[in-house]
Amino acid sequence: MNTTLRRLASVVMVMFLALMVSTTWIQFFHADELNTDSRNVRAIYAEYGRARGPIVVGGEAVALSKPVDDEFGYQREYTNGKLYSPLTGFFSLANGTSRIENTENDYLNGQADALWVDRLQNLLTGRDPEGSSVELTVDPKAQQAAWDALGDQRGAVVALDPETGAILALVSKPSFDPNDLASHSTKEAGEAYTELLNDDSKPLNSRATNWTYPPGSTFKLITTAAALESGDYEPDTVIDAPSTYTLTGTQTQVGNFAGTSCASAGEMSLADALRISCNTAYLGLAGELGADAMNEQSEKFGFGKPFSVPFRTDASRYDNDPGAMNTAQVELSGIGQGSVIATPLQVAMVSAAIANGGEVMQPYSVDTVRDPQLEVVRETSPTSVGRAVSEETANQLTDMMKSVVESGSGTAAQISGVEVAGKTGTAQWGDTSKTDPHVWFTGFAPADDPQVAVAVVVESGGDLGGQATGGSVSAPIAKAVMEAVLNG
């Protein structure tokens, strides 16, 4: 009987092998599919019952999970919801997740592959699994300064560290409070979401990263860059600056701001044209440079593609309406009107690139991810997107931007004791007889050792409406943000 016993032992081995294979099949190979089955409430319980890691700004949690006595066990709370929601996004049982809560979900809930050692430790010690904390690059003072300075006006503020691309401030108004969406009552959260969705001011959309505006005169930086890079222009090259400019092939006459003439001689240096933001000079300049050069230069600054910061931003576009690109449109693009659209983030990136010697840095908002034992799990290292302009061009642009703040259209951005470089913008949109222009300011400081680059847009002139200019409304906001960063 020993032969048959040995054979039976082999049969037993096969039976156990079958069980191991079937168990592995479910637990390993099919797990993802099963975990996402809509009938698996476990996934929801697990996600919402976990001690989710906090989102940290300047050492303080701006989003955290607090133990509560309900069926899930934890409630997500946002300490300053409206201020930080353009970054944090929301974490909602009824409506899903967005922004950092979405892109960093695997780290926040502790399920990222990189955290397997922690999970193994939790398994062995029986410790409650905890999510990792996500630390943002945001400077809380700059964020607050931007929020306060923007006041009740609609618009956005973006501040970057020009050297690294780290986002120092990201404000969008009107904003929403993610606490309203985090309610465990599906009904409450659902109603809050519907209300935000139907709000005409679109508070759910971040104006800083997912909203495009005509960049107006801030785009003259790119036109100037294209001119300097072409090799045919220097800052002191004299260009035509007529009182009005008739767009090629049309009857449309475009004048300068408030109908003034740029120079009595009808011509001026490129540097002066930027300093006083002379429209007619730039219309002609863009026509001279041509669509290809303009497009290429804007793409080098980051136009044409979305960024992951790590949540996805909208792409800015030089030729948003490619079919309509005629000479007149190219001329208009020179002053950031017509087919040009840009996000405030992109405009800030233009200033940051100039401040950084011409190199464009990938913008990012997550600095480090730490596990519950505060060990660094992931750290973002600054990466270059590419070079927009040569170092020489960057220096020339910096000098020109300095004069804008010193004696040009952006004097309101001056900070005592600090050299500030900048550019204003007043962008018309829609039916100009019925709308007030969006007003811009972008720049960086200190000009010789840049610490912060900003872009500010205030929709429809903000509180001043039709009287507003980039210099009067947006420059002071930019100043406040830059000061907050520089004064640390």
Active-site annotation, residues: 217
> Cβ closer to other proteins: 116 or 305?
116
The tokens for 250 are: 């049309």
* 60: Cα separation from own chain's centroid: 22
**H or E element that contains 294:** helix 279-300
Closest CA to 134 of 383, 364, 453, 385: 364
Q: Could you count the other beta carbons within 10 Å of the beta carbon of residue 94?
A: 17
> Cβ closer to other proteins: 37 or 399?
37
Separation CA 424–CA 443 (nearest Å): 9
Q: Binding residues for other proteins, per CB under 8 A?
A: 1-6, 8-9, 11-13, 15-16, 18-20, 22-28, 30-31, 33-35, 37, 39-43, 45-46, 116, 119-120, 122-123, 125-129
> Cβ closer to other proteins: 51 or 285?
51
Q: Could you count the other beta carbons within 10 Å of the beta carbon of residue 419?
A: 17
Q: What end-to-end distance do the CA atoms of the chain give, in Å?
A: 86
> Cβ closer to other proteins: 119 or 202?
119
Strand 452-458 relative to strand 74-78: parallel, antiparallel, unpaired? unpaired
CB of 94 to other proteins, least distance (A): 20
Strand 244-246 relative to strand 366-370: parallel, antiparallel, unpaired? unpaired
The DSSP secondary structure of 41-71, one letter per residue, reads: HHHHHHHHSSBPPPEEETTEEEEEEEE-SSS
Contact between 280 and 242 under an 8 Å Cβ cutoff? The reply is yes
HSE, CB side, 13 Å, CA atoms: give it for residue 137: 24
Strand 60-67 relative to strand 155-160: parallel, antiparallel, unpaired? unpaired
Separation CA 164–CA 29 (nearest Å): 40
The tokens for 359 are: 């190199």
> Cβ closer to other proteins: 49 or 306?
49
> Cβ closer to other proteins: 9 or 258?
9
CB of 50 to other proteins, least distance (A): 9
CB of 106 to other proteins, least distance (A): 13
**What SS3 class is residue 77?**
strand
Separation CA 49–CA 47 (nearest Å): 6
CB of 114 to other proteins, least distance (A): 14
DSSP 201: T
Contact between 329 and 339 under an 8 Å Cβ cutoff? The reply is yes
> Cβ closer to other proteins: 127 or 305?
127
CB of 111 to other proteins, least distance (A): 9
Contact between 44 and 52 under an 8 Å Cβ cutoff? The reply is no
Contact between 88 and 101 under an 8 Å Cβ cutoff? The reply is yes
CB of 25 to other proteins, least distance (A): 7
* Three-state SS letters, 152-167: CCCEEEEEECCCCCEE
CB of 33 to other proteins, least distance (A): 8
- What contacts 139, CB < 8 A, 6 or more positions away? 58, 159, 168, 169, 484, 485
> Cβ closer to other proteins: 22 or 230?
22
**H or E element that contains 269:** strand 267-269
> Cβ closer to other proteins: 70 or 232?
70
CB of 117 to other proteins, least distance (A): 10
**H or E element that contains 483:** helix 475-486
Q: Which residues are registered as beta bridge partners of 345? A: none
CB of 23 to other proteins, least distance (A): 5
